[in-house]
Amino acid sequence: MWSNFSSVSSGCSAGPSSLRLRPTMTAVIIDIEGTVCSISFVKDTLFPYFLREVPAKLESLDYPIKVSSSVEDSESARISNILVGFPQEVVSSYETTLSHITHLVSSDIKDPVLKSLQGLIWSIGYHNGDLRAPIYPDAIKLIESFKEGDPTRKIYVYSSGSVRAQKLLFGHVSFEDSIVDLNPYFSGYFDITTSGFKQESQSYKNILESIGQLETPDQVLFLSDNVKEVDAANSAGMKSIVVVRPGNSELTEDDRKRFKVIDDFSQLQI
């Protein structure tokens, strides 16, 4: 499976060794959490911010939740129009709605309605300056440089977080003493509502079809910290690499034998 990889860095040690891919990659798809930013940002910053802010947002709504017919694009109307995606009995009262949302978050359930609601709440935090995305410097460099010399090359995002949340994160990246917007470098975004769940091979085939590379999957590289996602991408014919970052789950010896592993994007020769 890895005959087109050479000069591989083993384990987690950075250093001069690198990973060369053949054929040359025409597209890269990146995961977010644990890949281009730390898991702790999502777990210790984004999720707590959402749980801290959502009760007051829910208290301002009328129950049971119904589609808002308001002509004004108010915050309450936008929240209501997201929440109607939950079963009717869930949004019958403030208490049942908050309980359901809290359960989904604590259980790490990838619910599309929850992801949309999180994206909206986080957008408020990004725009008012409460939130900034701490993207790893080597990830910023890859994102900014991948198309240098060949503008036909493309870079995409695939995350369980909503496309809205992805754009918000990459639009508010903390870099030195400023905030930078990396969105202009991306050619597209995918989430579980557009492409399917990330541990299913068909989801990656859906993405390949969307980007016009169903016939050339070996020219597409997927980068993720999750071995099950990497396995699914491999099954779809993509090249795929496990990314190890501080705070990520430890890889087993079997994982290290089965997959190619890097801990810094500078180790890639693509």
Residue ranges of domains in the chain, CATH in brackets = 5-37+133-269 (3.40.50.1000), 41-127 (1.10.720.60)
Is 198 annotated as a binding-site member?
yes
Summarised one tens digit per residue, pLDDT across range 104-154 is: 999 989 899 999 999 899 999 999 999 999 999 999 999 999 999 899 999
Is 235 annotated as a binding-site member?
no
Whole-number pLDDT of residue 9: 40
Is 110 annotated as a binding-site member?
no
Whole-number pLDDT of residue 72: 67
pLDDT surpasses 90 at 155:
yes
Structure tokens at 247: 């705070």
Whole-number pLDDT of residue 20: 75
Write 110-114 long-range contacts (CB < 8 A, 24+): 110/160, 110/192, 110/197, 112/85, 112/162, 112/192, 112/193, 113/82, 113/83, 113/85, 113/86
56: left (phi over 0), alpha (psi -120 to 50) or beta: alpha
Is 3 annotated as a binding-site member?
no
Burial of 69 (0-12, 13-18, 19+ CB in 10 A): exposed
Residues 247 and 134: beta-carbon distance below 8 Å: no
Helix (H, G, I), strand (E, B) or coil at 45: helix
Residues 21 and 269: beta-carbon distance below 8 Å: yes
Percent of the chain topping pLDDT 90: 81
Identify which has the larger pLDDT, 198 or 7: 198
pLDDT surpasses 80 at 5:
no
At 73, the pLDDT band (50, 70, 90 cuts) reads confident
The mean pLDDT value for 38-42 works out to: 92
pTM exceeds 0.85 for this model: no
At 212, the pLDDT band (50, 70, 90 cuts) reads very high
At 22, the pLDDT band (50, 70, 90 cuts) reads low
Question: Range with the lowest mean pLDDT among 22-26, 47-51, 121-125, 261-265?
Answer: 22-26
Q: What is the mean pLDDT of the chain?
A: 91
Whole-number pLDDT of residue 14: 39
Angle between helix axes 75-83 and 112-127 (nearest 10 degrees) is 160
pLDDT surpasses 70 at 93:
yes
Cα–Cα distances in Å, from 171 out to 35, 50, 137, 164?
17, 18, 15, 10
Using only the alpha carbons of the chain, give its radius of gyration: 20
Cα atoms found within 13 Å of the Cα of residue 2, Cβ hemisphere only: 14
Residues 249 and 12: beta-carbon distance below 8 Å: no
Is 159 annotated as a binding-site member?
yes
DSSP3 helix / strand / coil % (the chain, rounded to 5)? 40, 15, 45
At 69, the pLDDT band (50, 70, 90 cuts) reads confident
Whole-number pLDDT of residue 1: 38
Q: Distance between CA atoms of 213 and 227, rounded to whole angstroms?
A: 23
Percent of the chain topping pLDDT 70: 91
The residues with which 100 forms a beta bridge, in sequence order, are: none
Is 225 annotated as a binding-site member?
yes
Q: Distance between CA atoms of 125 and 264, rounded to whole angstroms?
A: 29
